[in-house]
Each structure stands twice: as structure tokens, then as C-alpha cells.
Structure 1
Amino acid sequence: MKKIQTFIISALLAATFFSSCKKDEIEPDIGNNAYDPVNVLRDNADFEHVWDTTMFMQTFGHYGMSDMTIENDHLLHFVFIENSIGGVNGYPSFYRKSVDLNTKKEVPLPPGAKQYPNLKNFISTNGEIRQKLHVHAFRPYTNFYYMALMTYGGPRGSTYIHVSGDASYTGLGGVVGQTHLGSFENYQLELGYRNMSIYHYPNMVYSFVGLNPNPNPYLLTGLRLLWGGFLSIGPHTFNNGDNLRPLFSETELGKSTLFATTKDNKLIVAEYTPTELPEQGFVETPATLVASVPYTPYYPNFTGTAKTYQHYSKDGKQMGLFVYHPDSKKYYSFSYNFQTKTLQKVLDGASLSYGSEEESDVAFDEQGNLYYTGYANNGNNKEGISIYKISTGGHTLVGTDNFLKFGEVVKLKYLLGKMYVAVQGRKTGTQVQQLSILKQK
């Protein structure tokens, strides 16, 4: 199980990002070479190995997983993270692979696909600059991988956004400067089904939108920075952020969809058309209210922020939207159909009853159901790890109970009806670390 936390690039990143509770080290098969991958599953586990790798690492070295997705129903794309030194002395390195699920063999990356040897190209030598890697993920069900880093020179410095991976942004020298962005803490970048959006409290949404449609050409170039500013949506007014707050925007070149919470306890959905970023002044973007459901935001006086997550159906028509409340440590979820404009509330204050808010990893589906790693036997076996699903019917087991023999879970991902699990651990008596990707049978 792995802690849920924001990926912050700092001197402590290597020590905190992979913090987790774990089982025993990986036990090598008798007679095997120290670098041979070993089976991490218990007998009769309802999972199978898809891909494995090993590497000699120092005592605090470790593996992690950035993201996984599936293209064309059989190509598993993933970016794993490696820190061979660990602690505060090493930067994590990102490595990208693709595996054919039918043969379990690696396949070449497409021409032009970007490989990520490390984060040093993002890291500034100026220690006073705060940095946060908001996005390091695949566009759902494609082999497009995006990275977006935000830096802030504060307290009177500028906020900049750097876009990398299979996308490029060339405006203003590759960054967005202080003429458009202010305080570092007021922003959250999110990757939707197609594009990235940037949320600025209280009532502004910026969006990076590609000029070229997915999936051709492969490298997404010509990103444009669009903008939406809202004073009211239906009967709801922003009033300096006291009455209405954006949560997430699914942005496109034309009609886009905004999800927001209201002080009168609703989650609302509105449609709007973003415009080119204005050079001066605030220009309101017209928005039409299309759906709403009851929902009580967690912030007492409508202050603070909530962490959101999204998961999409393969065709992008259905989305599960999840909101995590840090104060109560509970999850709320909704499902939305972009074609029928149907919004439903699914989970109403769900807790990770058999796990830990600090150490359980989580995954999501498009119907609004949540998955997480927890202790085996419905939380009673602290030495075992199981995966649980939370739906309107309560908790149910995913796969077999106590399925993992060795190692620790560093990533869960629900893809096309199956759970994919990344597990890492050190082989007993060696300095060899192993990373395995498991698939639910």
C-alpha cells in the first residue's frame, strides 16, 4: 500500500513519494540469478504477471509507477519511476515502456515518442524556486504521455508552467508568465480526456488545448492557452468565490464542460466555450447550467481546496468524478454522461475502512466506484494486502484475499474492467530491487 499525496519536487521527494506499508522483501527462487525476476503472487491468486524488471540499487533505492493505460484493447503503456540512490541524494528517473498483453512482450515506442531519462531538465539550480509536478500521465487510452511542471519564484516572483512529453507549448518561450498567472498556491493542473486545464481561485479556468486532434499526428504540437472567466452560472454567482467554486473542466476547442460546487450544497455542471487568453482585463465567459445534484462541500466557510480525480470510459462519453475531502478523509463521487448530460451522485462520504488514508493506494472507474489497497481479511489481517471496491452496495473484494506474497503496491489502475497493480520490493539478501506489473485474471 502506498501513501496518497501530491508529487512535489523537493529535496524530500525521493524519501516521501514512495513511502508505503509493505510486506516482506521479495524472496529469490533457489538457484536463480540475483537479477532474475521472481513470482510475487501467492498460489491461486486471481492475478498474473504481465511485466517485470530488476536493478541493483543502494539501500534506499526504490521503484514507483507514474501511470498506466491501455490502447486498442491490448497494448499496455506505462511509465515507471526509478530512484537507484534514494533518500535526498537522487532524483527520480522516468522510463517508458509498452507491452502487448496478448504476448507479454515489449513493443517499440512510436516514432517521436519522448523518453524521460530523469527530471533534471525540469530542476532549477535556484533553490529558492518552488516547484510542483502536477501532471505526469497518459491521455486516457492513448500512448500520449504528458508532463506539466509549475514553478514559482515568490514571494514577488512569477509563476511559470512548463509543458513536456508528447506535447509542446511554444507561447511566451514555453512558459506562461506573470502577466497571466499569479500566486503558485492558487493553481491546480488537471489532465482530462483530451486536454489540460488550470484552475485559479476563485473563478477562472485556463486550458491548454491542442490544435491537432488525437491521435494524428503523434506528437501533439501547437498548444494554445485558452481561458474562461465566470461571474455567474444559472442562479449561482461567484461573489468573489463565496458562492461558487470550480472543481474540474473537460476542455475542448469548442464546447467545454465545467464542474463546480456551490455554497447552497450542489455540484453543478455547466457548458461554455473557452476563448483566446485576453491580454488585459476580465471578460466574462457565458456558461449554461445543464445539470446539478445535491452535494455538501467539505470546506466550512467555502474556503480551502478539494482534490479531484477523474476516470473515463474508453470512448470518453462517461466520466467518474471523485472529490477527496482532506479534513474528513472521505471520498464523494459522481458519474456524468457527456452525451445525455446525466449527472448522478454515487458515493456520499466513503471511507477506506479496511486500509489507511495515509498508506492505501486508490483507483477509480467511470461509474463512480472507488478501489483501494487495504489489509487482508476485511482489515483484520495486518500482515496481508487485498484490494477492495467501494460502490453504493458497500465494500467488496477484488480478486483473491491476501494475494501478494512479497513486495509493496505502488500503483493501482482500473482499465477496461480489470485491475492492474504495480508491485516493487527488494530481493532478500541482495541490493536488487524488482518492479512487477500484475493483471487481474
Structure 2
Amino acid sequence: MAHAGVEQYRELEGAGGIGFNKLAHLITIGIVIIAELIYVQKFAVGKGNIILLPLLYAFVLGAICNPSVNPLAARWVRPTVGNSLSQVILIAVLPLGAKLATLLGPQIKAIIAAGPVLVFHEIGNVATSLVAMPVAVLLFRMGREAVGATFSIDREPNIAVISERYGLRSLEGMGTLSVYAIGTMFGTIFFSLLVPLVFSWDVFSNKALGIACGVGSGSMMAACAATLTAILPAHKDELFALAAASNLLTSATGVIFGMYVALPFANGLYKVLSKLRQPRQAEAAKIHESDIEVVKTEEPKLGVAGFVSNMLMAGAIIVLSHVMGPKKELVMVAPGVALMLGICLSGYFLNRYLPFKISTLIWISIAGVLASLPGLPGADLRNQWFSQVDALSCATLVLAYAGLALTKQEVTIFKRDGWRLMIVAMLVFGGTFLGSALVSDLLFALLGTH
């Protein structure tokens, strides 16, 4: 419903526009091999650690190979590679969604116990504005673009809210699109570095940090949860399951929360702050027509053949990641990956052919939970196969594509808006995570389920 506001400002790529990009897949295979060979690296810094994951290397290497980011890459990579991969990313993220869904079944008791926290943790996201807007308005003297930039983490559901209320050509729309572009470029890296720092403070519980990873972005959640589980490997399944459940609920409720809680709060805060220090009108931001092009579709628009071929390639690269990184045997990984691909295909066909439309990722989440619920016929064997699939290896593929898929428009927005919006965006991401963790811990304490 709310996404209609976004759709009127962008053209969805049709099924005939994109097929199977052989060069992009070959580059991605090379990137994944290099990233997995480097694998996880830890560096002690004071009381904490900096943890570098394969998904970070994959994103950086993808950006280096992207002519929109690195002009030298244009000698051997087409400048339109980012546009051609916008749909492939949506397909590549589905196996990760399936893997995370299969963690929910075995952890269903822990998820039910944390149910109220999972539902209400998003209240903490008002800290997004509390942390970021004073800097945007008082220090950088931003105008109404500060509302769009700081009311949320600014992913697709949040863009829909701003689009419906103000239009993407407004100043509020400019702020939202800027943070969206910066999040696409640097969000995963930021969360991978933030989590070890926050963990070293020893302020929040492990479960609260896991829930806080569900920020409403698949790639950012994956980077956040993967980093957290690298610190706490003994709690990997529970923390990934909490992050996945939190992310799913955040994505589902993002429009409602943004429209009726976060945006009114941001508007009220802006009114107060703008009276303390007026923005410099001479430097008011301007929305550019090309900015709207950074908003990507949320559903794969390829035909059946294009979807299946790209999905099979994603599965093959995921298997390769396991063999190169965690050094798992092919026969151990292949059954679980095959089951995950089956879950993805079932979700795609349900979305495509049923008369009522539910997100493909929602269908995949439902199928993944049902396939992994203990007590159902064959559940023990399926869960044994699923357990051999590493969520981190699934995420590496997604970030490799993400680096390659950065578009010229996203790079242009980043260059134009400069370091001020970069700082504001980082405060937005940090406020979202910390506010959610704080509210989660408070709710755990009130419920006595810490």
C-alpha cells in the first residue's frame, strides 16, 4: 500500500531487461574466493576487538571492480553493471533469508519467550532522531531534509513513508534518499565495526544486541549479526534467530511505526531544535531528478527462467563459499543449500501465481520456519542439513553483488552531500542500534526474562 508512493517515482526493470550476466557472476566468483580465503580476521584494540569478515572484503572488492566507484574498472567492466545487478541482489539475498528462517524453527521457544521484546523493541528507534537530529540541525544547520534523514534508518519501507507524506522530490525526500544511498554503500561496514565496540562496553545483554541487529535491512542485519556471532560463537544460532525474527518484524511494521511514531516524533523534535538555531537558507539542499533512481525494487522482476538461472548460480557460489572459507566438505553443504534453494523457489512461485500478493521473502520465511520446526516429519534430518549451511557464507555473496551494484547515482549523492551527511547517517545507524538494544534490555528486565 505505502510502497505505491515509491513506485510512482521509479521505473521497475522488466523481465526482459535483465537476464543472466555472465561477466558479473564470474567477477563475483573471483571476489568470493578471495574474500573467503582471507576469512575472519580479529585484531585486539584495547578491551575489545575489531573483527573483519569475508562479507566486508567482498563488498570492498566489489566496489573496486565497479566502474561507477572506480573509473579504472571501466576498462574491463561495463559501466551499466550496477543497473544489471539490481535484480540479481534481490535473488541472492533470498537464500540468506531462507537460512535465517530455518534458524527460527529450532529456536522457536526462545523467540516466543522474547516475543514482547521483539514486537516493541522498535520503540527504541526514536533514539535515531534523538542522536542524529541535534547534530544535523544545530551543528550542520540543515533544514527540513534533517527530518527525512534522521527519522529512521531509511530503507525501503521508510522511503515509502516519506514518499507518501511529502514526495521524494521534497527536502524531506532528499534527506531520506541521501541516507539510503550512504547506507547502501557503507551500512554493512559500519555495523561490522560498531558491534565489537558496543559489545566491549559490557552494557547490553547478548540477546538485546541480537534483537538490535534487526534494523530492517537484510544486508546490515547480516553484517551486524555475523559480527556478533563471531564474538559469541557458542550462541550463534540463538542470536541469528533473534536478529532474523527482529528484522522480519521491523520490515513488516516499519511503515506503520514510521508513519505514526517515528515521523511525528522527528517533526516535533525538528520544530524545537530549529528555533534554537535557524538553518542557513542559502545552503538549502536541492533534490535532483536522478536521486530517485537509487530506490531499488523490493521484488525480483525477472521471468521464471531468469530467476531460476540466477538462483542456481547463487546456490553454486554459496557452496563455493563454504568450501573456500569454513573448509566444509561439498557433500556436507550441498543438501542444505539445495533445500534452501527449494524454499526460495517455492516462495517465488507462491508470490508469482497466487491471486493475493505477499512478499517473496515473507513466503520464504514461512516455508523456512515450517521446514525446520521440531517434531514435524523429517525435521531432524532437515535441520541437520540446514545446520551445515553458514549464514555468514550466504551473506558474503550478497555483499559481493552489492559492491558491484553500486550505481553512479548513489556515488553522485555521496560525493555531493559530503561528509556532513555521512556523519548524520552514521549517527542514524548508531542511534537505531543503541536505542533498540536499550529498549530490549529494559523490556527483558521488566518481563524477568533476561
Give the TM-score normalised by the residue count of structure 1: 0.25
Higher helix share: 2
Greater C-alpha Rg:
1
Which one scores higher on RCO, CA 8 angstroms, separation ≥ 6? 2
Give the TM-score normalised by the residue count of structure 2: 0.24
Higher strand share: 1
